[in-house]
Amino acid sequence: MTFASAEGVNSAFTLFDLSGRVVLNGQLVNGQTVVDVLGVGDGVYVLILSEMQLAKRVVIQK
């Protein structure tokens, strides 16, 4: 999965499953960040971008 952010914008991200468990977390760094989701099962998740105060529904299907 690839995240894109505006140049100069850094933000912590957390990916939660629908039961509220943290599945992945990390840092978006200046522009584009690639996150390995191979170990994450297919399903619906909630992605929180902290500094950008954004929550999005994410569907992972391989």
Predicted pLDDT at 22:
97
pLDDT, tens digit (0-9, with 9 covering 90-100), for 11-54:
888 999 999 999 999 888 776 778 888 889 999 999 998 876 77
What predicted TM-score, i.e. pTM, was given to this entire model?
A: 0.78
Range of the domain at 51: 2-60
Q: What's the domain count of the chain? A: 1
More reliable by pLDDT, 62 or 59: 59
- How many Cα neighbours within 13 Å face the side chain of 44? 4
What is the predicted pLDDT for the residue at 2?
75
Residue pair 2/33 in contact (Cβ under 8 Å)? The answer is yes
> Taking the CA of residue 24 as centre, how many other CA atoms within 13 Å lie in the half-sphere pointing to its CB?
20
The three-state secondary structure class of 51 is coil
